[in-house]
Amino acid sequence: MADDARPAGELRRARRFAAVGGAIIRALAATWRIRVVNREAVDALRARRRPIVFAFWHGEMLPLVWQHRNEGAAILVSSHRDGEIIARIAESFGFRTVRGSTSRGAGRALLGLVRTLEEGRDVAVTPDGPRGPARKFAPGALVAAQRGAAPIVAVAVHASRAWRLRSWDRFLIPKPFARVTVAYGPPTPVAAATAREAAGEAARFEQLLAETAAVAGASHAGG
């Protein structure tokens, strides 16, 4: 549903919650001590103006929105009501938003992602969002990467101290002054000739995210 099709009261509430939420995130994130691991390949791709599909689990979204603020990437956000607040917060941090889901009603979302990649812009996708199952790689990000000829970079987060919400994704909120490690996996193309073949690569990319999470944890412990 487009903004102008939503009830005015709903939009006002979304704007209000987004303003408050954004202020809280900024105040909290300013205290985090962030360490970045294995970003060299990302910087090299950007230097060559190659678009990237960043893939990370939904529960780790918050510190990554802060880490990648004002970089101009497009983030896929659910078109459901709760996605309106997330979209407005993301936009306040300098993200573009593509509305939709890679698992349900995926046509519009995929078209938006592919167009963004063809424009030379990075996209960020939570392949288990917006409602799970947690840490299961839905095929939308793979199809977008295949059609947009862009590599996927897995991203994982580890925090020394954090709250975990009782949500399906165990949403991560690093506590004030937490040490936060952000790790990047190697840029990995979707080696498939068709969208159907790309969708069959889900298990391989789940493993890539698991390996990147292990790097984040090991680097955090060693740092």
Q: What is the pLDDT of residue 223?
A: 64
Q: What is the pLDDT of residue 7?
A: 67
Give domain limits for the chain: 3-222
The rounded distance, in Å, linking the Cα atoms of 20 and 16 is: 6
Q: What is the pLDDT of residue 102?
A: 52
Q: Which residues of 53-88 are buried (b: 16+ CB within 10 A; e: fewer)?
A: bbbbbbbbbbbbbbbbbeeebbbbbbbeeebbbbbb
Q: pLDDT below 50 — which residues of the chain?
A: 1-4, 105
Instruction: Say whether domain 3-222 belongs to CATH 3.40.50.
Output: no
Report which of 126, 158, 141 is spatially closest to residue 57, judged by C-alpha positions. Answer: 126
Q: What is the pLDDT of residue 1?
A: 42
Q: Is this prediction's pTM over 0.85?
A: yes
Report which of 68, 48, 78, 26 is spatially closest to residue 184, judged by C-alpha positions. Answer: 68
